[in-house]
């Protein structure tokens, strides 16, 4: 009885976003048959979307072992060999919902055996503790459980100077609402970030977003395709911010719009924008939050640069766009709000261009602005300078107000 | 449940509170000892009020005042701890020595 | 009603309302996303079954006693909140002379229990959720206490049944117009939903519930719904006259009013964006708390 | 033994045992919530003693107070989140002796004293009586308590804020010298601070 009921529930799924994940990943995630969880502890299936770096494998194993039994892994779009069960993988162009549901049903009924631990379930260092709850010993500092570091000496707090203990931990690379692939070592005081260091850089922008732009290098491409790719990319970025401010339903709406834009459907963004504004999306982003200076904005290029008020866009010089009276939209404030408004404006503008010239073609090799800054130089600025002093929730908003290309450029691996 | 048993329980709370106040090094734990003593005092006050004063309203008032004292003690205590901590990074009684000698 | 009947009604009310909220949640999000709802009536049950089917995991060296106890205590607190409210003039499970004060204790203990849940799992994101919740939960609780004291003024009593009886002529929602909106914020805060979801939000991977799975998680999620029910029931009684109403029997009125308040609460939780905790603190201390003072003064002047 | 007696003994046992465990547990958070448990048990005894308002107000107040206490504990103990156990006591034997002595002395006094018996009537309107007393005859006392609390709030904000009397507190609010170019007024604290001590 319990099993029959449980088998009909939406599949609780934790998604580990890899490199070059399938174009349909957004579409999958908004399916009503799927329940994307915020933590592996709530999921039954670990979905690995795309390829995972070798250095991320250990993180993936740790997440895998956090899933409660019964559990299974599903690879989607990763070229896993034949050693992986047919029921647990799908090619990137497949729609895996049916396979996922089948896997989940078998998992619940016991037909598919639950996966065992991948890592040994033992402490990382020998036990050195005492006490009822096993955390330590005696004396002023308490114990040293498992030979772990004791708290750092206190540092003055950034906000009011009260020097308290700090806490250092690694975050990423598969955290929800976190730039895929990025691993940061963050030092907290309470939930305020004191310092951050890049352990692993984020994944570069996905192939799916680049397809029309790459194609343009060697063949004539429809303007509509290019602008649709831009609108879809921006909508996905907007969806992430919507989720972060506690509007998951609107976020799913943005994801659905992005998937429909990719499927060449005609959509309107204005209703979403209006609903988001009515829900207080702008109020949720504090004015001035995540403001970057002019130099950084120029170096980042792309939407971040235009959000700072610089009307620089490769499309301005393109004859086809000139014929359509294209002028770049800009904002002035260069903060999270401005970048969000820029995404909305550019997505709306892109769709307006599509409807103004549905059949226009862009010649091979023409210079067209990508949704992010494709040709910008390396940035002499670190993400790790942007985060200290921010609360955790604000830091996430700031991180997600940049596209993955900008993040990649701001978070290279620091030289040891 | 007689007055005697209630008062003995209150005495036990006061005794434990005194032990805590005298033995703890940390300011905050020290304040916990004080609170536990006040807990015993409040219990004794309500016991007297209920079983010997025949429901005289001023008896309850005494307990309310004890609660207010507790709130004052706690607020001022934490403020002092914060002030001392800002100045000296001290959170145990041995950290303060200016009143010695 | 005999105590046994009352107890059965109390349990049925809590379970039924929790299911009702879960259904409303599903319908509301489907409508907002513009897609048909997925098995709207049965989906909550399916999810319950999923959680029951999952293993209840352990973290490294958790405070197991507190971790397992916290969900049950949270549900229990919600239950005592509902027990304060009379289903009709003569039937109330806990006829407490100081009902409003006990409700205040329920709010305060809820903050403690949620903190314990996040703390005892021995995990950093859970702890961040716990701290955030305390920072927001305590001042919101103060607001609700002022609002409830204001509602007790015209009744000249701290007992919930007397407060209901004092609304025979005029409901408190009209007499004290600021009360209900301020009290609804408490509902969102006590069960951390929508704009007040600082404890279990997705940006900290589920916060205080980030490490819990299986049956304890089911109890935790049920307790959140039960607490929302408790707030709605108290709100329906203190501001909307509870069981009072023409034609229909008292319990029906109470259920209808509670369902209406819950609809408003679910709507608010879906429609409003969440601002950062520090800005919410500023908003509460500088705008909402003074507003509740004004409300109390207004109620006091009227009661004179 | 009736139900009230059984309840009393249970609550009394909870109050005393959890009060004692406060100083035995090795985690700050557990310590403050054990103290809260002790207060809740005492509050429920008060309800048994026909003082429902006082009893439940105790539960309410102590839940808030101990929550704040737990946060302060974690803030000021060099111990992230109070998860690491520790034992921090001084003059231990003397404290135990003092505690036991006070308990024994009080108990002795209680046992030998004869108390008059005048219990509160079961149907007395104690909450109404308390309200009338607070805002009637004893208004002055009540208001004094209120003003004291207000003064406390002001004082604690001043004490704990960053801007000290002679500059920012954490950079050392040093009073000006009494004569030009002299030593700062007042006594200088020694450099050995409690916190640095623990990190040896």
Measured CA distances, D197 to B58, B88, D93, D200 (Å): 49, 12, 24, 6
pLDDT band at C113 (very low <50, low <70, confident <90, very high): very high
Name every residue whose Cβ is closer than 8 Å to that of residue D34 and which is 6 or more positions away in sequence. D18, D19, D21, D22, D25
pLDDT of residue A135: 44
| Nearest CB to C273 within list A5, A108, A279 | A279
List pLDDT tens digits, range D5-55: 899 999 999 999 999 888 877 677 888 899 999 999 999 999 888 888 888
Q: Which residues of A have a CB under 8 Å from any CB of B?
A: 154, 161-163
* Vertex C123 angle, CA C120 and C128, to 5°: 90
- Supply the pLDDT for residue C120: 86
Note the pLDDT of residue D196: 39
Count each helix (H run) and each strand (E run) in chain A, helices first.
16, 10
Task: Confirm or reject contact between A152 and chain D (CB < 8 A).
Answer: no
Does any CB of chain D come closer than 8 Å to the CB of residue A110? no
Domain boundaries, chain D: 1-83, 124-166
**Does any CB of chain B come closer than 8 Å to the CB of residue D170?**
yes
Calculate mean pLDDT across residues C245-250: 82
- What does the pLDDT read at residue A137? 46
What does pLDDT average to over chain C? Answer: 88
Q: What is the pLDDT of residue C127?
A: 84
What's the average model confidence in pLDDT over C273-301?
Answer: 90
Q: Do C35 and A256 touch (CB under 8 A)?
A: yes
Question: For residues A297 and A311, is the Cβ–Cβ distance under 8 A?
Answer: no
pLDDT at C164: 86
Give the whole-angstrom CA distance, residue A240 versus residue A252. Answer: 9
pLDDT at C133 over 80: yes
φ/ψ of A136, rounded to 5, equals: -175, -145
**B101: in domain:** no
- CB of A151 within 8 Å of any CB in chain D? yes
**pLDDT reported for residue A138:** 47
Show the domain range for B57: 3-95
pLDDT (tens digit, 9 = 90+) per residue, A162-178?
Answer: 666 677 788 878 888 88
Assess contact for D50 and B57: CB atoms under 8 A. Answer: no
Verify whether the Cβ–Cβ distance B86 to A162 is below 8 Å.
yes
In the predicted model, is pLDDT for residue A99 greater than 80?
A: yes
Task: Give the model's pLDDT for residue A167.
Answer: 74
pLDDT digits (tens, 9 = 90+) for A384-408: 788 888 888 888 888 888 888 788 8
In the prediction, which pLDDT does C235 show? 92
> Between chains, do A393 and C131 touch, taking CB under 8 Å as contact?
no
The answer on pLDDT for C248 being more than 50 is: yes
- Predicted confidence at residue D185, as pLDDT, reads 64
| C260-281 per-residue burial string, b: 16 or more CB within 10 A, e: under 16 | ebbeebbebbbbbbbbbbbbbb
- HSE toward the beta carbon, residue D76, CA cutoff 13 A: 30
Q: What residues pair up with A189 in beta bridges, in sequence order? A: A192
* Minimum mean pLDDT range among A13-17, A241-245, B86-90, D120-124: B86-90
Report chain B residues whose CB lies below 8 A from the CB of A154: 89
pLDDT score at B97: 61
Touching check for C27 and chain D: CB below 8 Å?
no
Span C24-35, average pLDDT? 86
∠A72-A78-A83 over CA atoms, to 5°?
A: 60
pLDDT for the residue A377: 64
Number of domains in chain B: 1
Quick one: which of A392, A413, A388, A377 has its CA closest to A157? A388
Place of tokens 């529930």: A9
What's the rounded Cα separation, in Å, for the pair C194 and C191?
10
Read off the pLDDT of each residue in A124-134 and give the average, rounded to a whole number.
53
Do D and C touch, 3+ Cβ pairs within 8 Å? The answer is yes
Q: Is the pLDDT of residue D195 over 60?
A: no
With a cut of 70, say whether residue D96 has pLDDT above it. Answer: yes
How high is the pLDDT of residue D80? 43
D31, two tokens: 């310590």
- What rounded mean pLDDT belongs to chain B? 81
Query: Does A141 have pLDDT greater than 50?
Result: no
End-to-end CA distance of chain B: 50
The mean pLDDT of D191-196, rounded to a whole number, is 43
**pLDDT tens for each residue of B2-31:** 888 889 999 999 999 999 888 887 777 888
Looking at mean pLDDT, say which of A100-114, C134-148, D25-39, D154-168 comes out highest: C134-148
Q: What is the CATH number of the domain that holds B80?
A: 1.10.287.3510
Give the residue-averaged pLDDT of A329-333: 84
More confident residue, A86 or D107: D107
Record: contact D31-B33, CB cut-off 8 A: no
Cβ of A139 within 8 Å of Cβ of D170? The answer is: no
Distance CA D103, CA D112 (A): 14
Residue C255 structure tokens: 């259920």
- Chain C residues with CB under 8 Å of D61 CB are 108
Average pLDDT over residues C154-180: 85
Which tokens in the block code for residue A380?
């002499």
pLDDT band at C15 (very low <50, low <70, confident <90, very high): very high
pLDDT given for residue A134 in this prediction? 44
pLDDT tens digit sequence for A52-75:
888 888 888 888 888 888 888 888
Note the helical H segments in chain C: 3-33, 43-53, 64-83, 99-120, 124-155, 160-165, 172-175, 179-190, 215-239, 250-271, 277-283, 289-303
Query: E-assigned strands of chain D?
Result: 163-164, 167-168
Burial of D21 (0-12, 13-18, 19+ CB in 10 A): middle
What is the residue-averaged pLDDT of chain D?
77
pLDDT tens digit sequence for A206-252: 766 777 777 777 788 888 888 888 888 888 889 888 888 888 888 88
Q: How far is A391 from chain C (nearest CA, A)?
A: 8
Q: What pLDDT was estimated at residue C172?
A: 82
Ranked by mean pLDDT, the top range of A133-137, A378-382, C8-12, D139-143 is C8-12
Helices (H), D51-119: 52-76, 92-112
Q: What is the mean pLDDT of residues B65-87?
A: 81
What is the average pLDDT across A100-104?
A: 86
Please name the member of C35, C194, C214 whose beta carbon is closest to the beta carbon of A246.
Answer: C194
pLDDT greater than 60 at residue D83: no
Q: Does domain A2-109 have CATH number 3.40.50.12280?
A: yes
pLDDT above 90 (res C76) = yes
ipTM above 0.90, yes or no: no
pLDDT band at A140 (very low <50, low <70, confident <90, very high): very low
Q: Which helix (H) or strand (E) holds B9?
A: helix B3-23
Contact A133 D87 (CB under 8 A): no
B and C touch per CB criterion (3+ pairs under 8 A): no
Structure tokens that stand for A403 in this block: 């596209």
Task: Tell me the β-bridge partners of A171.
Answer: A184
DSSP A380: S
Going by the DSSP 8-state scheme, the letter that residue D198 receives in this structure is: H
Q: Which chains touch A (3 or more CB pairs under 8 A)?
A: B, C, D
Please report which confidence band the pLDDT of residue C72 belongs to, taking 50, 70 and 90 as the band edges.
very high
Query: Residue C80's pLDDT is what?
Result: 92
The domain limits of chain A are 2-109, 145-200, 207-410
Predicted pLDDT of residue D187 = 58
CA distances from A208 to A70, A172, A356, A374, A376 (A): 33, 23, 24, 15, 20
For A190, how many CA atoms within 13 A lie in the half-sphere containing its CB?
24
Q: Quick: pLDDT tens for C187-241.
A: 899 888 888 988 888 888 888 888 888 899 999 999 999 999 999 999 999 998 8
Answer yes or no: is pLDDT of A142 > 50: no
Compute the average pLDDT of residues A326-330.
Answer: 82
Cis preceding linkage at D120, omega within 30: no
D163 at B interface, C-beta within 8 A: no
Q: Which residues of A touch B85 (CB under 8 A)?
A: 162-163
Percent of chain C with pLDDT over 90: 31
Cβ(D193)–Cβ(B88) below 8 Å:
yes
Band of residue B1 on the pLDDT scale cut at 50, 70, 90: confident
Q: What is the pTM of this model?
A: 0.87
> Between B7 and A376, where is the model more confident?
B7
If you measure CA to CA, which chain B residue comes closest to A157?
B86
- CA atoms of D183 and D173, how far apart (whole Å): 14
| Residue A154's pLDDT band (cuts 50, 70, 90) | low
In whole angstroms, what is the distance from residue C126 CA to residue C120 CA?
9
In this prediction, residue C71 carries a pLDDT of 93
């Amino acid at each position: 009885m319990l099993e029959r009921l449980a088998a009909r529930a939406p599949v609780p799924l934790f998604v580990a976003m890899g490199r070059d994940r399938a174009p349909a990943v957004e579409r999958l995630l908004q399916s009503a048959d799927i329940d994307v969880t915020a933590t592996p502890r709530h999921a039954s299936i670990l979905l690995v979307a795309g390829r995972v770096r070798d250095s991320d494998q250990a993180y993936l194993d740790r997440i895998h072992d956090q899933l409660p039994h019964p559990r299974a892994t599903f690879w989607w779009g990763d070229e896993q060999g034949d050693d992986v069960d047919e029921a647990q993988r799908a090619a990137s162009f497949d729609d895996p919902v049916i396979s996922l549901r089948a896997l989940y049903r078998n998992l619940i009924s016991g037909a598919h055996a639950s996966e065992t631990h991948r890592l040994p379930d033992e402490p990382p260092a020998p036990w050195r503790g005492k006490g009822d709850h096993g955390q330590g010993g005696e004396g002023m500092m308490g114990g040293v459980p498992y030979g772990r570091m004791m708290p750092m000496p206190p540092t003055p707090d950034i906000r009011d100077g009260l020097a308290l203990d700090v806490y250092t931990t690694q975050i990423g690379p598969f955290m929800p609402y976190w730039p895929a692939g990025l691993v940061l070592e963050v030092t907290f005081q309470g939930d305020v970030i004191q310092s951050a260091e890049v352990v692993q850089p984020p994944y570069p922008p996905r192939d799916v977003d680049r397809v029309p732009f790459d194609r343009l290098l060697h063949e004539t491409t429809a303007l509509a395709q290019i602008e649709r790719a831009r609108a879809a990319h921006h909508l996905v970025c907007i969806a992430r911010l919507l989720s972060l401010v506690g509007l998951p339903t609107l976020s799913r709406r943005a994801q659905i719009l992005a998937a429909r834009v990719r499927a060449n459907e005609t959509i309107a963004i204005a209703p979403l924008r209006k609903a988001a504004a009515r829900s207080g999306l702008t109020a949720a982003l504090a004015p001035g939050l995540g403001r970057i200076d002019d130099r950084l904005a120029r170096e980042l290029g792309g939407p971040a640069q235009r959000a700072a008020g610089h009307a620089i866009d490769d499309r301005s010089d393109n004859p086809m766009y000139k014929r359509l009276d294209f002028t770049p939209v800009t904002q002035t404030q260069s903060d999270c709000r401005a970048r969000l408004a820029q995404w909305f404006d550019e997505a709306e503008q892109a769709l307006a261009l599509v409807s103004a010239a549905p059949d226009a073609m862009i010649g091979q090799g023409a210079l067209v602005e990508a949704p992010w800054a494709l040709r910008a130089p390396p940035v002499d600025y670190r993400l790790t300078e942007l985060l200290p002093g921010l609360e955790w929730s604000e830091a996430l908003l700031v991180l997600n107000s940049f596209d993955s290309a900008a993040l990649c450029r701001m978070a290279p691996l620091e030289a040891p | 449940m007689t007055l005697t048993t209630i008062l003995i329980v209150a005495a036990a709370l006061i005794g434990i509170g005194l032990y805590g106040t005298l033995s703890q090094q940390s300011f905050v734990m020290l304040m916990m000892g004080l609170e536990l003593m006040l807990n015993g005092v409040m219990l004794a006050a309500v016991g007297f009020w209920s079983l010997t004063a025949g429901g005289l309203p001023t008896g309850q008032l005494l307990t309310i005042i004890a609660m207010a004292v507790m709130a004052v003690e706690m607020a001022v205590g934490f403020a002092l701890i914060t002030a001392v901590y800002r100045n000296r990074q001290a959170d145990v009684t041995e950290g303060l020595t200016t009143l010695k000698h | 009603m005999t105590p046994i009947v009352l107890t059965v009604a109390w349990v049925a009310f809590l379970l039924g309302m929790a299911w009702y909220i879960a259904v409303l949640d599903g319908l509301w999000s489907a409508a907002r996303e513009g897609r048909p709802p997925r098995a709207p009536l049965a989906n909550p049950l399916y999810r319950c079954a999923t959680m029951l089917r999952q293993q209840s995991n352990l973290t490294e060296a958790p405070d197991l006693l507190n971790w397992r106890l916290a969900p049950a205590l949270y549900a229990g607190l919600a239950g005592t909140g509902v027990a304060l409210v009379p289903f009709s003039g003569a039937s109330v499970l806990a006829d407490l002379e100081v009902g409003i004060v006990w409700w205040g204790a329920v709010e305060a203990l809820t903050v403690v229990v949620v903190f314990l849940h996040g703390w005892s799992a021995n995990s950093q994101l859970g702890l961040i959720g716990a701290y955030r919740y305390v920072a927001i939960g305590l001042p919101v609780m103060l607001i609700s206490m002022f609002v409830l004291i204001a509602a007790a003024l015209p009744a000249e009593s701290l007992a919930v049944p007397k407060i209901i009886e004092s609304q025979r002529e005029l409901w408190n929602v009209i007499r004290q117009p600021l009360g209900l909106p301020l009290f609804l914020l408490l509902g969102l805060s006590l069960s951390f939903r929508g704009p007040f979801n600082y404890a279990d939000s997705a940006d900290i991977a589920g916060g205080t519930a980030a490490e819990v799975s299986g049956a304890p998680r089911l109890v935790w999620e049920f307790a959140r719904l039960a607490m929302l029910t408790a707030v709605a029931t108290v709100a329906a009684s203190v501001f909307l006259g509870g069981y009072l109403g023409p034609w229909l029997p008292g319990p029906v009125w109470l259920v209808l009013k509670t369902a209406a308040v819950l609809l408003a609460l679910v709507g608010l939780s879906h429609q409003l964006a969440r601002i950062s905790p520090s800005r919410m603190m500023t908003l509460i201390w500088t705008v909402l708390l003074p507003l509740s003072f004004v409300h109390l003064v207004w109620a006091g002047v009227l009661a004179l | 033994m009736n139900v009230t007696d059984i309840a009393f003994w249970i609550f009394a046992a909870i109050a005393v045992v959890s009060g004692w465990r406060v100083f035995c547990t090795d985690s700050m958070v557990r310590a403050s919530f054990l103290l809260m448990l002790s207060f809740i048990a005492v509050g429920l005894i008060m309800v048994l003693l026909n003082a429902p308002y006082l009893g439940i107000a105790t539960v309410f107040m102590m839940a808030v107070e101990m929550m704040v206490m737990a946060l302060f504990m974690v803030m000021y103990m060099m111990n992230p989140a109070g998860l690491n156990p520790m034992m921090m006591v001084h003059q231990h034997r003397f404290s135990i002796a003092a505690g036991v002595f006070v308990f024994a002395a009080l108990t002795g006094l209680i046992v030998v004293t004869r108390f008059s018996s005048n219990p509160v009537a079961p149907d007395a309107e104690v909450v109404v009586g308390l309200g009338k007393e607070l805002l009637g005859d004893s208004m002055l006392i009540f208001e004094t308590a209120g003003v004291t609390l207000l003064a406390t709030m002001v004082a604690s904000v001043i004490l704990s804020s960053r801007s000290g009397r002679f500059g920012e507190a954490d950079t050392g609010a040093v009073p000006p010298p009494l004569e030009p170019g002299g030593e700062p007024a007042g006594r200088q604290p020694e450099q050995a601070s409690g916190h640095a001590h623990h990190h040896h």
